Amino acid sequence: MRRTAGFLYLLVSLAALLFCWIGPYPLNDLRGGDIPYLLLVMLHAGWGVFLIASGGRYGRRRTFIWIVRVPEILFSCTLLLFLFSYIYALNANMDYVQRFIATGGNLRLARDTSEERIIAWLRHGPLLLGGAGAFIGFRLAYRRRFRELWMGPSAVRTWAFPLVLLSVILAALSFPSFVHLDGLGFLAFVALVPLFVVLRQVSYGWGVFYGVCFGVFFNLILNYWLGPYSLVSLLMTVVLFLVLYVLFMAPALWIFHSVRRGRFLVFPLAWVVFDYLRSVGFLGYPWGFFGLTQYRFLPLIQTAAVTGVWGVSFVVLLVNAGLASAVCSHMALFRRWGETEEPRRCSLGPMYLAVGVLVGCMLLGGLRLAVETYRNPCRQAETVRIALVQQNSDPRKHDYGRTFGALKRLTDRAVREEPDLIAWSETAFVPNIRRWSREDPERYALAALVRDFLAYQRSLNTWLVTGNDDYVFRMDEEGRRVRADYNAAVLFSSQGRRVDTYHKVRLVPFTEHFPYRETMPRVYRLLQEFDVTFWEPGAERRVLEHPRFCFATPICFEDAFPNDVRRFVLAGAEVILNLSNDYWSLTKVEAKQHAIASLFRAVENRRPLLRSTASGLTVFIDPAGRIIRSIPYYREAQMVVDVELPGRGITAYTRFGDWFPWAALVGVGVLLSLSLTVYRRM
């Protein structure tokens, strides 16, 4: 079998090299993106040579284990590179990449997306088929060495990698995806069961490997829409989650193996801590929390008003851990039936506890919704009328005048309903209003466009907030006057006066901001070659004041950060008004994922939330998390909604913040301490 597998690896490696030689990307014209692929081909060929040279005997058990495990490693690397290439093929039709090719020249793309995807299949297909054949072939040929090949705990170790991939697929489908735009949220309660069962049955080292595989593949599939946005974002996401899941799985699995009582609680608690930590700091990226999958389950998500989204994630993770514990208990019972030992009863306590917590949260959430619905039915709450405008264009990609024309056309329709405030999206009006309003419109086209905008805004006789570029001059450490550019939200009064400006505080890492220009100049120059536009982060989270209410304008993905929006509310925001540009992704999936992430900010703080997007999901969400009204994806439209202003009360989450992840960290420490103490006494 070894020699057969060795020849198979050599054959698929030669097929891959042959395609490179006669295909559209010849070996005599290598680019930076070809090097990982050629290295992967060399690894396959080298492993094939090793298998042929090692002969057909089993050898020592340790050698045998590595021989059947290495195909998993090679297959996982091949699958990762294939998915990356396939997702990046989405760029083939986009001006972003053409601009990058003109400046960088390190990568090549076919004439269109379909051709580029075919190339990805042809390049990686032989390696994927060969790896899958070797993986299955070894297990069938050496089935005597794989005790209980199809059933029992040994079967989990035998087929661990496919079980992990099953968890990846179920987890990805539980979120909004290309399969189901609303997401199959019920799958989240069982998605991690195969992974948790594998982590219970395999050794520590392989457990870390499988856990990292899950994290990287899950987040790559979940965030596939980053492909059209930026190669840098896609690449950094893969690298970031590779590192993060190593740092998470290594200690979490060690704690899991060390804890003897309450072991099933380790991963639900540790995963909440992990999600929290990866959402803070410069590299913070709060995407893929399992609690987000339950956005349509209103009774359950009311828990977020106390614990934040972290508590909802914990409930979902706890149910997965309880079910995995029950599965493993059944497998252990099955194993003892074939032995002389008297079979014990199956332990279902963890599963019952998890279901009890889920039912309890649902009942409390349902009770809260009922109380809020029927409390003071005669009270006349104050409302404000807000118009949301979706011009269905990428402001930076399309002609500025054309975009402004669409904004005026849609705004004129909205003004007929006499809104108190009109909201345009992130950078809806691109020319820098502060700068070009000071220039001569007879000399500069952008100055003329800004003059037209200011005149139009005054003619509306109502307040308007729009995304725009902004800048201020400041003194650097050497006393020089330097300009700092910002991604901003600008508020204008009904008389046309510029009232206030909010500068985006949390910028997208590597694609909007890189704070290590001096310490990592090479990385900074490389990012510039990839056509990255850098901004300065804002200094404070300003709450904008309208005569009738106060509102916050988190920009872009700022509304996905729980604590950031909470700080706006503590500063006095009565309404959360997000300004975003989701047009660039050209996919409804990204827009829906972004919207459900922001939905939890309404529940956590009991504040109405509105999103005005260039295109994506322009939506109005009430404080309980209900989607009241929305504009269809990728369509020019406006929406005028009456928003009920909340009282001055704040929720437990708004008052105490992210206390739940810290409590989860304490819980992990308590479990570990108790187990180590008991172990030392034994």
556, 558, 590, 604: which one is catalytic?
556
Say which residues have a Cβ less than 8 Å from residue 206's Cβ, sequence separation at least 6. Answer: 69, 160
How far apart, in whole angstroms, are the C-alpha atoms of residue 196 and residue 322?
10
8-state DSSP, 381: -
Total number of residues shown for the chain: 682
Strands of 463-475's sheet in order across: 498-503, 481-492, 463-475, 421-423, 383-390, 637-644
Active site residue 426: yes
DSSP characters over 57-78: S---HHHHHHHHHHHHHHHHHH
User: Closest by alpha carbon to 636, among 388, 390, 407?
Assistant: 390
The one-letter amino acid at 216: V
Active site residue 408: no
**Cα Rg of the chain, angstroms:** 28
Q: Residue 426 in contact with residue 580, Cβ under 8 Å?
A: yes
How far are the Cα atoms of 55, 502, 540 from residue 425, in angstroms, in the given order? 66, 14, 20
Structure tokens at 580: 């975003």
Burial of 500 (0-12, 13-18, 19+ CB in 10 A): middle
DSSP β-bridge partners for residue 411:
none
Cite the DSSP H helix spans in 509-561.
Answer: 521-529
Angle between helices 204-222 and 160-174 (to 10 degrees): 30
How far apart, in whole angstroms, are the C-alpha atoms of residue 30 and residue 107?
9
How far apart, in whole angstroms, are the C-alpha atoms of residue 355 and residue 336?
27
Q: Give the CA-trace dihedral at 383, 384, 385, 388, to 10 degrees.
A: -120
Angle between helices 160-174 and 193-201 (to 10 degrees): 150
The one-letter amino acid at 57: R
DSSP characters over 437-481: TTS-TTT-HHHHHHHHHHHHHHHHTSEEEEEEEEEEEEE-TTS-E
Structure tokens at 110: 């076919």
User: Closest by alpha carbon to 513, among 478, 475, 468, 558?
Assistant: 558
How far apart, in whole angstroms, are the C-alpha atoms of residue 590 and residue 597?
11
Structure tokens at 553: 């304008």
504, 536, 592, 604: which one is catalytic?
504
426, 558, 574, 590: which one is catalytic?
426
Q: Residue 274 in contact with residue 289, Cβ under 8 Å?
A: no
For the range 399-404, what are the long-range contacts, defined as Cβ-Cβ under 8 Å and sequence gap of 24 or more?
400/429, 400/430, 400/431, 400/446, 400/449, 401/449, 403/428, 403/429, 403/430, 404/429, 404/449, 404/452, 404/453
Active site residue 504: yes
How far apart, in whole angstroms, are the C-alpha atoms of residue 278 and residue 272?
10
Residues that are catalytic: 426, 504, 556
